[in-house]
């Protein structure tokens, strides 16, 4: 079932579609969109409050290209950033 939730984000300029929220892969820069009524699938988590990308190439979309969330929920640089 969780794999079905990882259909990716259908968007043009928006990060997410109506009825979805974006999630980030724990430990890397991967992301997906999940239906609002579902929890993030295993290996994914919600973005930290106030740091959720809304539009492609907005401040937070660019930021998360070189940062991620670790297993403890801390924001860290990605291993390959830089």
Residue 38 and residue 56: Cα distance in Å, rounded? 23
For 67, the 3-state DSSP assignment is strand
For 5, the 3-state DSSP assignment is helix
pLDDT tens digits along 38-60: 999 999 999 999 999 999 999 99
Residue 81 located in a structural domain: no
Residue 79 located in a structural domain: no
Residue 78 located in a structural domain: no
Per the structure, the complete domain to which residue 19 belongs is given by 2-71
CA angle 75, 72, 35 (to 5 degrees): 80
Give me the chain's average pLDDT, please: 87
Residue 32 located in a structural domain: yes
The pTM of this model reads: 0.79
Please count the structural domains in the chain.
Answer: 1
What pairs with residue 22 in β-bridges? 33
């Amino acid at each position: 079932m969780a794999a079905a939730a990882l259909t990716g984000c259908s968007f043009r300029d928006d990060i997410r579609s109506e009825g979805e929220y974006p999630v980030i892969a724990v430990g890397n820069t991967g992301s997906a969109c999940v239906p609002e009524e579902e929890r993030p699938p295993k290996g994914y988590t919600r973005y930290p409050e106030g740091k959720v990308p809304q539009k492609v190439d907005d401040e937070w979309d660019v930021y998360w290209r070189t940062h991620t969330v670790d297993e403890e929920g801390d924001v860290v640089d990605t291993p390959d950033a830089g």
